[in-house]
Amino acid sequence: MLTRIIGAWWRLRAQPATREDRNIRYLMAQTALIGVVNGGIVTFLPIFLARLGASPVTVSLLTALPALVTIILALPAGAIACRWRDMVQVSARCFWALRFCYLAVGAAGFLSPQVAPWLIVAIWGLSAIPSTLGNTVFYDILAESVSPRRRPMVNGMRWALLGLLNAVSVAGFGQLLELFPTPYNYLLVFILSFIAGMLSTGFYARLEIPLHEPQLQPPSTPWRQRLAELVEPLTAGGGFVAYSGITFMLRVAIYLASGLWSIFYVRNLQASDAWIGWRATIESLALTAGYYFWGRVADRTGHTRMLIIVSMVLGGVCVATSLVTRDVRWLLLCLAPLSGFFASGIDVSLFEGLIAVMPPDLRPRYVAMNTALANTVAFLAPIAGATLAERTGIPAVIAAGGAFFFATAALAALWKVKPRVRGSVARAVS
């Protein structure tokens, strides 16, 4: 894998002669810098909240509140983005605004412990507004920036750079946090994340694509018809309903303890920032290797069988993690490669599974419904997990997440996905 990445990188180092070559360079630079952002504020913001004394519910809202904002904005954002003529520059303005939220989060950390956690969560939730608007057109921009022939190689390079830079950044930031007292150390990490994010957006804004001709507004339709079209993916039958049931269980497994991991590391295991950084680095490196592996075997394994395998392994990792105590926390360093390697299989499996169950001519409608369902779970599950943790403890919630992974594997084994044709409009997989 590393040899191919290096070879592709050297080929891209040649002086860019075409618009596509320039776009590839800008995308590589943008993605690499996003890896630094992920290794900085995205990784350590929950840890910062835990060290400020935030409750499990407060930390869980760090995941839940942006999901709620995304649920509210997802469909309107699509309609708004359709009216953008220069998609790159308008979406870049959204990303500029998003980066300034990093500085606001760092400044909020200097307020009183009673105010700071809630204000940080509010700022992070509001940051989902520009993020949702900007990300709405990213797939269109990527499709216009790189030809279909070169896109697989470019995307593979992007994912590899993202994982590698994330791994290196997490380790570096973890060591940096040990050098200064709180909250100054976290403010420094957030400032560096802000700088990396601004540079990333600068490269993104240089992408060259044709101007988009805004779509004409269709005549208004009755609200009953619009509602029926909105929920059609769930009422038309076929594989999407089965897919939604399986992924519901999977997303509960993923998000149930998502707001509790930082508290588990800091309070249950009493881990240092450096230790947390090294664990995340190991996991990120395994994630990078996993994307390469699962992407190559997806066609031979099939997305359903792949989902069964990764769900079983991740369920076992969650149960094993719930049994780890402070005295044997080194076991999490052994489990990190498993969680990273097999978690990447989830992304590959879900992408292939969703493509399989969507009628080609109705994909935007099905994608919108899938996004709404995913973010509904992302909003409710962390709050439910935090509430449960206050009664049973965090390890019990982590173990419950493992149980949902096992349930996902069982449903995937029962609900075999096979092609079927429904009329002349829908081709779904059930």
Bridge partners for 426 per DSSP: 422
C-alpha span between 258 and 60 (Å, rounded): 7
Q: How far is CA 96 from CA 27, 70, 102, 200, 369, in A?
A: 16, 18, 11, 10, 28
Question: What does the DSSP 8-state code read for residue 428?
Answer: E
Q: Who's near 385: CB < 8 A, 6+ residues apart?
A: 56, 60, 255, 256, 257, 258, 259, 260, 397, 400, 401
Is residue 395 predicted with pLDDT exceeding 50?
yes
- Per-residue model confidence (pLDDT) at position 217: 55
Residues ≥6 apart with Cβ < 8 Å to 107: 187
356: its two tokens: 């399989």
Domains and CATH numbers, the chain: 1-210 (1.20.1250.20), 231-430 (1.20.1250.20)
**Peptide bond just before 364 cis, omega within 30 deg:** no
Residue 116 burial (CB < 10 Å; 0-12/13-18/19+)?
buried
For 268-277, 326-335, 367-376, which range has the lowest pLDDT when averaged over its residues?
367-376
Taking residues 131-140, report their average pLDDT.
82
Size of the chain in residues? 430
Over range 134-140, report the average pLDDT. Answer: 79
Q: What is the mean pLDDT of residues 193-222?
A: 83
Tell me how far CA of residue 73 lies from CA of 66, 129, 150, 228, in angstroms.
Answer: 10, 7, 32, 19
Whether pLDDT at 384 is above 80: yes
pLDDT at residue number 417: 46
CB contact at 8 A, 321 and 397: no
